Structure 1
Amino acid sequence: MKPCAPLSRARPLWLRSARQELILFGVFALLLLGMGIGLRDPWPSDEPRFALVARWMVEHGQWLFPHRGHELYPDKPPVFMWLQALAYLVTGNWRIAFLLPSLAAALGALALVYDLARRLWNHRSALLAAATLVLTIHFTYQMRNAQIDPLLLGWITLANYGLLRHLLLGPSWRWFAAGCFFAGVGVVTKGVGVLALLMLVPFVMARRGHWHQVALPQGRWRWASGLLFFLLPILGWLLPMLLSAHADGDPQHAEYVQNILFGQTVHRYATPTGHIHSPFYFLGIIVVDWLPLSLLLPWVLPAWWRRLKRHDARFLLPLGWIALVLLFFSFSPGKRDVYILPALPMAAVALAPLLPGLLRRRGVRIALFALTMLLAGTLTVVAALVLHRHPAWASRIEQSLDPQIWWLLLSIGVAGLIVAALTRVRRAPLGWLLFAGALWSLYGLWGYPMLNGDRSARDVMMRARAIAGPDATIGLLAWKEQNLLMAQGPVTEFGFLKPWPQQYADAIAWQRQAPAQRWIFSLDEAMGRCVDRHRATYVGHANRREWWLFKADAVVAGCAPGGSADETADDAP
């Protein structure tokens, strides 16, 4: 393998120099992925949970055992929450801090895809590969969220980069060690980080089959050292946690260790309780969520096959790894779209050398133009219909969304139609780039502030505090993470995982101790018939739920809410 040309001598794509193109692309990617940071709070389903855990770490100094309120949170390792907490210590602003790990992972993945593709092929192919990745809907949407999967994508891409620097561009044992190490970091972020090491499977196939472009590293002990580097970050988290749990003898910590090591890994993969889908679920995700990248597949699949028949290991390793990842997750009954998100960067790498030729094909340009027109036209027609006729189905949607959402969708749609009219088929790739820029910019700058009050529960928690007064203590009943995260002033809670009847009993007993100064903030369903709603105060609607505040005089004596019916002392046999 010949060394890649320095960036200063690389052939530019459309500007005067490759360096200028790279700087311009970096600015575009930063704006596309970061537009709107600081304009919203964490949104369900997962963001408030992780931000709440991170805030507890900062406020209580409990870094080894994550907490959701006063209860332990055993569903995920703490790495993502550590980074959110660190971002807060640096910025001092949770609205900014909770999104920074995902943004850093996204920009890092783009840089790694570009650099790897440039070393394997050239600057032009690499820049188009990175642009294809950042313009893929699934990538952009997920990497703008504060969830664990974007960070996992970053670690797995970094691990894949290190391994491929060794396996295709090596030998480079330092990069091999780095690849194994970051695969381990992926494990302590989310257990499936170990999947990065599946890259060794197609490498063994290529080496035994004498494929072209594959490196031939020697040294059995050096290969074995990869296990040590893989285990380093895992043991760096695991040993202190185990020693601490053993030393304090807390049964909750022992249960946490059991859950995090087994319940959230083997059990969740083999016998999941939700998100059950068919073995072909991910094929639909690739076709729809991976647009516009998936539009290229009719042309790309034959081209990949031809290169595999030529025994080019530069295609076998990333494509073989993607196939193994798809098989791994397809075998489990439980499936979510984000599970295969880490496969996107390697798909972009495998696409890289084909993109300059593909984007010159009229069929590809027609497909991209049609996609832009279809999405922009649909948004325009639907939003205009709602604003003009206001059908019944729109009213149902507006129960959980700001009615101004239709003006946002109309603006995005009209912007897309204007872009399509200006770029036409001839410049359809540029048209999609501009449409994506308009979509995510408007969504971040306009959509975030518009939707934030309801989606984050900030508005309903501010109203609750205004009703209760500044000095009263509010107890949370049947609460969601966003309620505790956005709570204003003195607040307490009665557990998150406890059944609602038990929470209700604890809340009522707590309120009786100081009825004049204690309010209960409750989900409508959790009150059942045990709270007189004529004496309670309706707080508002948030996250598709109704919320109430009540004092002790609204409680129905002798009533215990449970299931679909409420039991009172008079009803008991």
Structure 2
Amino acid sequence: MQRTLVVLVVLTLAFAFLGSRGLWDPDEGRYTNVAANMLSSGDWLVPHRTHDVGHWTKPPLTYWAVAASLAVFGMNTWAARIPVALAYLLSTWCVWRIALRLVPERARFAAIAYATMLAPAIASQLVTTDFLLAAWETLAMWAYVELRWGSGRLGWDALLWTAFALAFLTKGPPGLLPLLAIVFVEFAVTPRRRVFHPLGLFVFAALALWWFVVVVTRNPALLHYFLGMEVVDRFATDEFRRNGQWYGWLAVYGPTLVLGALPWTVLWFGWLRGLPAHVRKWRKPEGRANDPVDLLLAAWTFLPLLVFCIARSRLPLYVLPLFAPVALAVAVRSAEIGGPMPWRRLVAWVPLLIGLRLVSATIDSPQDARAWADAIRARVPGAIDQVVFVDDRMRYGLRLHLNADVEDVTLARVPKADGTSINPHYDEDAATELVEDHDDGASVWICKAEAWHDVQRYMAARQHRAQALGAPYRGSIVFRVAPDGAEAAHAGTSP
């Protein structure tokens, strides 16, 4: 009965109302936009934010997964989120498998605790790299647990490095952070396992590095970008403006871990309260040998967390992979307390989680790309094959909701690309877009309302006319552009 309950709860949380909410920009829209461009262009090697401009901020595995799902299930939000839901299921299954080794009497509870924690339950509905990363890291740690506490066969070592390779192809070096815990435990506890077997390292190199080698060979400037901006700058500088203050780690990760572990936070705190006594025992080799489970969970939680705290780029979902060891610690604490498992807590909590999804689908949010698509359709009758944002925030999610290309241009002059510009701020300048845009009445332009007169003057200086369509929407003007002397297609009313 308990097993059936766990399966039903996890499947419900994975798939209930998965497509009810529109894509939220920027993250969900950006990842889906790149994936849709892969699908339409047929170029699965180079991620593109438009058909002409590459997008290199993340390795391609998330884009591949979303693009494959869109190819199978169609251009809709449900299909875009399927890979994340499957990653959530894989993570939950791996937590259960790890618990069968570390705390077998609470294995099912470990799985349900993980699946119902607030952070994983919310993140399972977001198209980002974070849950795929969490799934691969948890898979790698399951392989390590089997390597140390199970059969110890070479196949587990191969699986461990395969999972880390997939994590590396998902988010780069951060995918290897659980290795800190593995190395720590291997040096702290004897006998040691041959984690760094040559076969495993070969598997990792073959799977994780080939894409980087290919794209860097084609564009050598990418090497400096990957190592400089995406590794050094994210770690050592506040270049990305992501809570880089000295206290940013506490402001971001403290609430994320405390609230994200609900409704099991109290049990986790109970495990944390007992940690100093364990640490005192770990000073001696025999203490570490007799207490490897808590040692592993502490290292798996706090060594990556330390790196996240030191790094200057900090976002809540960076710590999503840490909820696997948190759930296992909750199970360990539950076993220490004894008594029946606290299933009753789920009676109110699971409906609450589902209710949050329904509420999120009704929120009037400026980030909701579906609402933007509806507003554009109301103002623009007929086909739309391209949406051009002029010095305005990009709404990448329109790529899916309108099935139209999305571009980002500026009124300022953009230097011609020379092959060394990686992830330019704008795709091109508006003048270049005018030359390239063979207006067939299917292109829509958007700018901020306060820039509307500047846009009109800019277009007039280039023998084009900008004509607004309907009233402004969320402070932005939706308009068409036509050459002077041509009848403006589908003209609306100027604001």
| Structure 2 length-normalised TM | 0.79
**Does the 8 A contact of 1:168 with 1:313 survive in 2?**
no
After superposition, the Cα gap between the structure-2 partners of 1:547 and 1:433, relative to the gap in structure 1 and judged at 3 Å, is: farther
* Deviation sequence 1:301-352 (CA, Å, 0-9, x none): 2434445524311111121122110111111122111122111101222332
Q: Using the alignment, how far apart are the partners of 1:550 and 1:63 within structure 2?
A: 32
1:128 deviates by 1.5
2:462 match: none
**Does the 8 A contact of 2:24 with 2:397 survive in 1?**
no
2:152 match: 171
**3-state DSSP of counterpart to 1:99:** helix
1:477 deviates by 2.2
2:274 match: 303
After superposition, the Cα gap between the structure-2 partners of 1:358 and 1:233, relative to the gap in structure 1 and judged at 3 Å, is: same
Matched, 1:340 2:319: yes
Q: Using the alignment, how far apart are the partners of 1:224 and 1:111 within structure 2?
A: 28
Letter in 1 for 2:138: T
**3-state DSSP of counterpart to 1:521:** strand
2:41 match: 60
* Deviation sequence 1:387-418 (CA, Å, 0-9, x none): xxxxxxxxxxxxxxxxxxxxxxxxxxxxxxxx
Relative contact order: is structure 1 or structure 2 higher (C-alpha 8 Å, sep ≥ 6)? 2
Q: State which of 238, 255, 261 in structure 2 corresponds to 1:272.
A: 238
Q: State which of 65, 73, 78 in structure 2 corresponds to 1:96.
A: 78
1:172 deviates by 2.6
Q: State which of 527, 530, 535 in structure 1 corresponds to 2:452.
A: 527
2:479 match: 549
After superposition, the Cα gap between the structure-2 partners of 1:271 and 1:525, relative to the gap in structure 1 and judged at 3 Å, is: farther
After superposition, the Cα gap between the structure-2 partners of 1:230 and 1:352, relative to the gap in structure 1 and judged at 3 Å, is: same
Give the number of equivalent residue pairs. 449
1:500 deviates by 7.5
After superposition, the Cα gap between the structure-2 partners of 1:32 and 1:553, relative to the gap in structure 1 and judged at 3 Å, is: same
**Does the 8 A contact of 1:181 with 1:231 survive in 2?**
no
Matched, 1:433 2:346: yes
1:90 deviates by 2.5
Q: State which of 451, 460, 469 in structure 2 corresponds to 1:537.
A: 469
1:493 match: 407
1:183 match: 164
Q: Using the alignment, how far apart are the partners of 1:216 and 1:534 within structure 2?
A: 70
2:294 match: 315
Q: Which moved more, 1:54-63 or 1:489-498?
A: 489-498
1:507 deviates by 5.0
1:35 deviates by 1.0
| Identity value in percent | 22
Q: Which moved more, 1:517-526 or 1:292-301?
A: 517-526
Q: Using the alignment, how far apart are the partners of 1:359 and 1:338 within structure 2?
A: 32
| RMSD of aligned Cα (Å) | 3.4
Q: Using the alignment, how far apart are the partners of 1:488 and 1:167 within structure 2?
A: 51
2:413 match: none
**3-state DSSP of counterpart to 2:177:** helix
Q: State which of 356, 361, 364 in structure 2 corresponds to 1:443.
A: 356
2:394 match: 480
Matched, 1:239 2:218: no
* Deviation sequence 1:128-157 (CA, Å, 0-9, x none): 212221222112111221110011000000
Letter in 2 for 1:159: A
After superposition, the Cα gap between the structure-2 partners of 1:534 and 1:237, relative to the gap in structure 1 and judged at 3 Å, is: closer
1:394 match: none
1:516 deviates by 7.7
After superposition, the Cα gap between the structure-2 partners of 1:61 and 1:539, relative to the gap in structure 1 and judged at 3 Å, is: farther
| Structure 1 length-normalised TM | 0.69
In structure 2, the gaps of 5 or more residues are 282-286, 411-422, 458-464, 485-495
**3-state DSSP of counterpart to 1:527:** helix
2:332 match: 353
* Deviation sequence 1:34-79 (CA, Å, 0-9, x none): 2112323321230111111111111111111100123111111110
Q: Using the alignment, how far apart are the partners of 1:329 and 1:315 within structure 2?
A: 21
Letter in 2 for 1:260: F
1:437 deviates by 1.6
Q: Which moved more, 1:37-46 or 1:146-155?
A: 37-46
1:263 match: 229
**Does the 8 A contact of 1:465 with 1:489 survive in 2?**
no
Letter in 2 for 1:118: L
After superposition, the Cα gap between the structure-2 partners of 1:495 and 1:155, relative to the gap in structure 1 and judged at 3 Å, is: farther
